[in-house]
Structure formats: structure tokens, C-alpha cells
A and B are shown apart, each in its own frame.
Chain A
Amino acid sequence: MMAKIKVATTSLAGCFGCHMSFLDLDERLVALAEVAEFDRSPITDIEHCGPCDIGLIEGGVCNSENVHVLREFRKNCKILVAVGACAINGGLPAMRNHISLEDCLLEAYRDGIGVENAQIPSDPELPLLLDKVHPIHEIVKIDYFLPGCPPSADVFWTFLTALLEGREPSFPYELVHYD
């Protein structure tokens, strides 16, 4: 039997919606599990990714930890894929790019409605926020992009089956969406 291909996934500044959409593969996940296994992913709870064939990245880059995770994925994955609007253009998290970081923090932790025990978190364990949210192609080289908010399960399936069969992935018109 051929060795299974290794897939790692992560969510940076995203909402896990792309992961949920991936799970919409439903019974096709069984077929996928026969040829692929997960390395680091929310499904396996592995902390660092090892050498992988495919890395699926959801979400943009909003803090220092996102940068580290993204670089680790780039180092370890032969093929790195930007999954969804946030990874591709920053998505909704990037809508904060027009507000100063200070104002964002004050609104969230001090001045916002319903805030109790107001204080700006400053534990050294916490990753530092970046001034702006960035799409991942601005940090590392990306090999493929799956647009959508989220991309549908059919997008994942079309993409992965093409790669597994050694074909160049391409998407019919109906599968390309930005919303």
C-alpha cells in the first residue's frame, strides 16, 4: 500500500468556518481518510506540524503567533494553500485595518458595552497584535488559493482529488465565489 499523504491544517485569524466547510465533505471524508492522514490540525490536536504534503491555512495574519505558525507551515509543507477570504485578502478581520490598534483594544476591553473589570490584556504569554491584519501571501509564498467565505466542500474536494490524481487543480465557474 502506498504511504498516505500528510495534510496539516490551521486557523490563523479566521473563524473556523473554512474548517467547518471542510467537514461538509461528509462521507467523502471516509474516502479521503483512506489516502490521507492529518498531521497538525484541530482534529488531531498536534501542536507543531511535521513534514507534510499539503498545508491548508485558514485565516489571515493578525498577531505574532500567526506569523510563527505560518512560517512553520511553509517550512514543513510541500504545498501551501490559502483557504478562504481571510487567508486570501484578510477578510472581515482586516476591516479593523482602518481603526487604530489602540482604539480597537480600548473598545474591546475598556469602553465597549458590557465590559466588566476593564483592563487591556498584557500577559507576556499572549501573542502581540500586529498593527494590521495581512493576507498570508504577504508573509510567505503560497502555492494555491481556494476563494470563498468559506469555500464550499466541493471546492476542497475538487482541489484535493485533482492533487491526489496528479492533475493541476481547476475550478468550474460555479465554484468560484468570494462570499
Chain B
Amino acid sequence: MRIIQSDVLSVGAGLAGERVAIEAAENGFSAICLSIVPARRSHSSAAQGGMQAALGNSAMGEGDCPDVHFADTVKGSDWGCDQEVARLFCDNAPIAMRQMAFWGVPWNRVVPGEQTYYKGGKPFTAFEKPENEGLIHSRNFGGTAKWRTCYTSDGTGHCVLFTLDNRAAQVGVTVIDKVEVIGLIHDGETCMGAVARCLKTGELTAYLAKATLIATGGFGRIYRESTNAVICDGGGLIAALDTGVVPLGNMEAVQFHPTGIVPTDILVTEGCRGDGGTLLDKNEYRFMPDYEPEKAELASRDVVSRRMTEHMRKGLGVPSPYGDHLWLDIRHLGEHHIRTKLREVDEICQSFLGVDPVHQLIPVRPTQHYSMGGVRTNKDGAAYGLKGLFSAGEAACWDMHGFNRLGGNSLAETVVAGMIVGAKIVEFLKGAETVIKTASVRDAMAAQQARIDDLINCANGRENPYAVKNAMHDAIMKGAGIFRNGKDLETCVADLQEILGRARRVGLRSNGKGANPELTMALKIQGMVKLALCVAYGALKRTESRGAHTREDYPERNDRDWLTRTLATWAEGADLPTLNYEAATQTFELPPGDRGYGGGKIIARDE
């Protein structure tokens, strides 16, 4: 049996995982990060927009401070977030950004004097103060009172991740890539590490640690249409759920983006609509003004996504080999505007679609984008249920996003949470020694080996893992997408339960040797269906509309009954998760109020 030991084991080498590992290594502890792909390919590298921190250096950010950032974050969450955590986050975000600058991120900087910016497609000028020259600049990201998003051109996530990975190498963090965690090692009380399968050789290794961190990012790939990387399939969450004692928080809270391109669901920026782009149906008719007479295409992300779905449900989508979609039309903005101001969109259309947006329509559809839910932790990043288990980043429900994430807050969360949780883990490591029980290690390894053998020998059946995945995609896209209602959710849950049965009967057609991709899929499909069920079942039970979670049959935000966080655990052998609830926040620095967009009635706490 191959065993590797360290003080800290981070499952994940994206921004969150590496930031925690760096904190541990800087404090003299050994740290290992595991990753499916080389660290720098983690999905964090795909974020182009930027990360929020109230630095207040730029003209449009003047007067910004953590208090304003806090108010935006709580409103954005539709009061579903933990306000203590949101406060911690907003106060520490500026420090984290400056630290990233110190480590080498080439943030865009303030250029003094009169500058031309764009808002709603129209240019305007603002005066940047000479005394702020060279400080970190910020751009607009929507939904915020001030321009607060720190950025490096169109490659923020890429630059920050490369910088952090450099720092990790410098301080001696060990990053092991092409490995996939398929289970945690625990005894029901303490987590002692994880079992991982090497994606080069197929070999299993037990990674033992005093502190284990789940930082595996989002789980968007339980949906067919997602902007997430193909590796964002919730592996870490599945491992946590499989323990039977670690709850996942708010799994029903899923954010959708209106304009993923079809077929590959790559994101094209909201800027297209901001600059005057319109949405057309199969008759090339502009439908948004019919639904939202005032704001039309400029309504908020979740509103536009919902209207698009509604319209397609009426049979007005454009049929394609990849399913129905709508058109995004930016032709009228003209060649000059498209090739300069929307250069990135132009490039995506040309490189991935072979479409020239100056002359052609862009096929788009609403697409899963961000997972607010994840491993439920306290404000120190410690998971509920198992000692020694922590979580950070998109994989965690820390919970500063509540039911809707403010754009630009998630990338910032990775490094801020990394810093805070990292420090707490260091405290934890100084405090206690973990006793590693050899029996738990042996059992965990044997259980995973048995799963693999069963799949190779088709001991439980011969269901095709890819077919099961496609069935799951059909079910969740239909029932637990943007629009939700009791009837469709009930069907969705029932369908997924049946699919879970099939997932339990999966068997391989191939021999499973080496880096075999069929085995990789087969090992995770059951867990993915369980995650889908946590989403669908949680959504069915939550009879209100809050943030990105919209029930057609319960359009009100119901603070009287639902100012709560869902906690989902999975008992061994069960066909459904067990749902429990806790208060969304212990303290109210900001009492519940109107979000200021999206409309909808609110049932007050004391009604």
C-alpha cells in the first residue's frame, strides 16, 4: 500500500487550495496539494473579470470601504449569507489583494488624469487623482455601489493563479497533479486524509494528514450546460457526502449565466448586452422587451436567464443538434466597436464557433455558472461533522454568497478564505496531534479497491457510465434549472432516484487499466447523481424564491419561514439526502430588506 504523509493535505490546487497550503508551509508545516490537472490549469485560471476588494483607489471607486462592500455582498446574497463571514471577508479582501501584488500579480494600476470609461455602452470621462498613480485600479462588475473589481487586463484568474503557484513552489508546497481523490479516510469522528487514484497509472495512494482541506471548486458539470471546466464535477463534495456525517450547505443555490455559447457553453461577457446587444428567438424576433418592458436585455443575470428559458419553453428557441438556443445579436454595434471594445467576444466567436459576430448571430443559452453550495464550514473553514476536515473556495459553503454570488466575489473569496482558513489550520496544527488509525486507512483503501474491482468485473451490472451521465443531465436540466416549480422538481427527484439506481449498476466495457477514462467516469457517476439529488431535493423543499433559486409556484422571498441554510447529508444506502436546516446567519449587522433588483414580494420575518 502506497502511503504519503503530510501535515496538511489540500484536495485541490486552485487558488483556494494553494493559498491555504502556502499559509501552512510559511509556518513550517508540510503541505501537499492534489489536483486532477497541473495546478495552473485549475478552473481559477479561467476567470477573466476580476476580484473584489474595497481599495477605493480609482475615481469610480472613491469612497469605497469594507462597509459598502459588506452591504453589497449581503444584498447580493438575498440575505442568505452568514453576515459574520461576509464581514470577515470584506475587511480582509484589501490585504489579500495587496499581498498578491507583493507576490507578483501585475494588477492594472491607476493612470492619473482624465480617463475614458464605458457604462451602458456610452463613453464618459472620470478624473483619476495624481496622488493615486500606480496604486491598484478597479473596474465595474455590476451589482455594486462602487467600482471595486481588481483586475489584470482580461486574465485575472490566470495571473493570480500563476503567481500563487510560483509562491507555492518557493515556499516548498508539494503539488501532485494528475491524481483524483475518490474517498476520504475517517472513522466517523476524525478525518485522516484521502484515497487518491493516479490518473497516469491508475495506482491508489493513501494520503494521510493532520488536516485535510477540500478545495475542489464548483460542481457545475452535474449540468449538461455549464461554463465550468470539464473537471468541475464535485469530486471533493462527493467524498465529503460519502462520509455520511459531513453536510453540504445550500446545494439548491445555483447561479446561471444568460449567455453561454452553443455548443460548448463558453461564457461571453455580459458586456455584450451592456453595450446594446439584443436577444432574438427563432423568428429573429426581439422578445426581452415583452417580458421586461423597462430593462429588457439589461435586467439582472438571473432575470434574463429566466426569461430566456421561459421563451424557449414556449417553443420559440432555435433547434440545433445540441438542443435549443437563442440568438445574441451584436451586429448593429458595428465592426469597430466589436473588434475593439468586445475583442474577447469576437475572438471566442471566431475561434470556437467560426462565427463572425460583425455579420452573424451568436448562438447562446442560459448556462450553469457558479455553485453557491458546498461543504458546510464554520467561519474558520472547519467542516461540520468531522474533526480535521476543512474546506475553502467554491467547494465550500463558508457562507458569504448565500443564495446568489456577487460577481467578482468568488475569486476574491478563494484567496481571502485561503488566508483566514489557512491561519486557522495552522492554529489547529499547533494545538493537537492527530492519531492516525491504521485500521481506518486499510479499510478506506480496501473499500476503494473493491469499488474498482467491481466496476471492472461488472459485479453490479453493465450500465454504461456515460449513458447514466447523459440521463442525469436530461433530468436536472429539465427539472432543476433556472425556473423551478413543485411539479417539475418532483419529477426531477423521481427521475434522479431511478438514475441513481442505474448508477449503482454501472460496469466497464473496457479493462480499466492505467489512466482508463471510463473507470474515472464510472467511479464518480454515482456521487454526481447524489449531488444532483441534493440540488433537486433541496430545491423541492425550499418553497420560496431567494436569489438564484426561483420557484414559479412560490414567487415570494419568505423570511418568515426560510431565512435558513439547507444542510444535506447522505446516510449509507439511502435514496435521498437527509435535509436539516440552520439559521442563515447568527448575527444581523444588516437587517433583511429589498435587494434592489429582480423584483418579487418579500414575506417579512415577523409576518
* Chains A and B are bound partners: no
Chain A residues with CB under 8 Å of chain B are none
Chain B residues with CB under 8 Å of chain A are none
